[in-house]
Amino acid sequence: MKSTCPIYILLLLSLTLVNCRESGTKQRSSDTVNMHFEDVDNFWRAYEQIKTIKSHAERSKIIQEEYINKSSHGLKLLIEKDKLTAADYATFLKDTVFFNSIKKVTLEAKNDTTEIRQNLRSFETLYPKATFNDIYFVIGQFKRAGTVIDSTMIIELEKNARSSYTASAFLYDEDQLNNLNDFESLIPLVVHEQVHINQKNINTRDLLSKSICEGAADFLMHLQTGQFPSATRETYTYGEAHEAELWVKFLGDLDINYKYIKTDWFYNYDRNDIPPDLGYYIGFKICEKFYNESEDKVKAIQFMLDVSNSEKLLELSNYNGGLQKTSARH
């Protein structure tokens, strides 16, 4: 016994140290967040060099050398995920009307870091268990307003820079321009993506869990900021006016293969009959009902952030689309 006790003690100490290290690296305070704008500066330096050059090959070469080759960690992740190429940038940048009109707004994003950090701190107050990672602001290729890749937040400023001066020669028509986020949407968008950083089991491919994943991010964003990004406001206005019929359709679609009904609920920006992303709205309403009826708000948020809880969350929420009778699905 004398010879084995020290071994057990050492083993317990080592396990304690490992656990401390793991917990220390797992959670980061909002005050530790670095906001990276180097990609934005590099982009506009490259743009100034190529905007009068006609040769596509020369434009591509400059973009490659001055922007892509100098990518931050965040931009490298986005390039890999979205297969971004210098040749595609060179094509998009022919619309100098558009890029000239958003340049000032994207560069002014640096001036909003204080307000962004204040909102991150407020989210930390709302949910003390939140963890935070650095934020990368980049110029992408119009694929997404914001995203999280490998727990890294990436904000594409070209999708979040609409102002009264925004115009386009060929990339966008007037309706499409209105679907871009205005600059005031940057704060709620960052909070939305911050929620995604704290979610678990988000790689889902069914209607309910996808709706909860995005709806929770929008609900906690709105709870924190009182705002929706401008590009989503039409979706929520439409949702409020058609809540019951959307809920009936949602229930009918729950058991259908996600790939067949995806374009009714998500990423359906080419449809003219309904606004896009109504799955966000339904998920929002479920999470809102669940949160409002929960006594322990921190535990409610924690439960909401684990997307694998989606079916139980729906059941506990008692959400029924505003209908008089609770659905039998519950």
Residues of the chain with pLDDT > 70, as a percent, come to: 90
Q: What is the mean pLDDT of the chain?
A: 90
Q: Are 220 and 301 in contact (CB under 8 A)?
A: yes
Question: DSSP secondary-structure letter at 266?
Answer: S
Query: Is the pLDDT confidence value at 23 over 50?
Result: no
User: How would residue 320 be classed by pLDDT, with cut points 50, 70 and 90?
Assistant: very high
User: How would residue 324 be classed by pLDDT, with cut points 50, 70 and 90?
Assistant: low
pLDDT attached to residue 147: 97
pLDDT attached to residue 323: 85
pLDDT attached to residue 325: 54
Query: Is the pLDDT confidence value at 293 over 70?
Result: yes
List of residues 6+ apart from 315 with CB closer than 8 A:
330
Token pair 């000032």 is found at 104
The residue count for the chain: 330
Residues of the chain with pLDDT > 90, as a percent, come to: 82
In order of 61, 104, 164, 267, 296, the CA distances from 285 in angstroms are 48, 37, 32, 19, 19
pLDDT attached to residue 1: 42
Q: Is pLDDT larger for residue 214 or for residue 174?
A: 214
pLDDT in tens, 58-90: 999 999 999 999 999 999 999 999 999 999 999
List of residues 6+ apart from 330 with CB closer than 8 A:
314, 315, 318, 320
Angle at 17 between CA 15 and CA 21, to 5 degrees: 115
Query: Is the pLDDT confidence value at 14 over 70?
Result: no
User: How would residue 24 be classed by pLDDT, with cut points 50, 70 and 90?
Assistant: very low
Tokens found for residue 97: 């009307």
pLDDT attached to residue 26: 59
Distance separating alpha carbons of residues 95 and 97, to the nearest angstrom: 5
Strands 152-156 and 146-149: antiparallel
Helix H or strand E segment including 77: helix 73-82
- Mean pLDDT (whole number) for 149-163: 96
How many other C-beta atoms are found inside a 10 Å radius of the C-beta of residue 249?
16
pLDDT attached to residue 140: 97
